[in-house]
Amino acid sequence: MLFVVNKSRFQRMISIVRDDKTPKQKVPFLRIAAIGDSVTLSGREMSASFPATVYDEGVLFIRTTYFRQLLRETRINEDFITFQVTYDGLHFAGIQLSFNGTDLVLFPNPADAPQNWPPDKQTLFDFAEKDK
């Protein structure tokens, strides 16, 4: 997964769609789908799409609060930011987040990605049935 987005637009859209505004929220993951010529950010209730340069499609789930804090604290003096997800993890602005923990989940094929993470029980059942 590899895409380039306008940094300020990306951060504004995250603040609009995020589901982690209250401590009681049970969906702490943000869904980032880079498909075609746009990026779509989704929470459970809302989503926002905007133009982006997508070189390699995919869907990434990342813990929203953690990701927002990283973006805010990272000194990025450019208008655009490049995000690359490899088998090592997520890379942007000189930062690498690895897949070692439970903060990142990647679906290289967008068609395989659920709408939310963690998926509901029916979605897990559907995945299990598809693998048979």
Choice among 48-52, 76-80, 88-92, 98-102 with the minimum mean pLDDT = 98-102
Domain ranges of the chain: 2-131
pLDDT at 28: 77
**Which 3 state secondary structure label does DSSP give 104?**
strand
Q: Which CATH number fits domain 2-131: 3.40.50.12500, 3.40.309.10, 3.10.150.10, 3.90.180.10?
A: 3.10.150.10
Portion of the chain with pLDDT greater than 70, in percent: 84
- DSSP, residue by residue, 69-87: HHHHHS---SSEEEEEEET
* pLDDT of residue 132 exceeding 60: no
Q: What percent of the chain has pLDDT over 90?
A: 45
Reported pTM: 0.85
How many H-runs (helices) and E-runs (strands) does the chain carry? 3, 10
pLDDT the model gives residue 124: 53
Give residue-wise pLDDT tens across range 48-75.
999 999 999 999 999 888 888 888 888 7
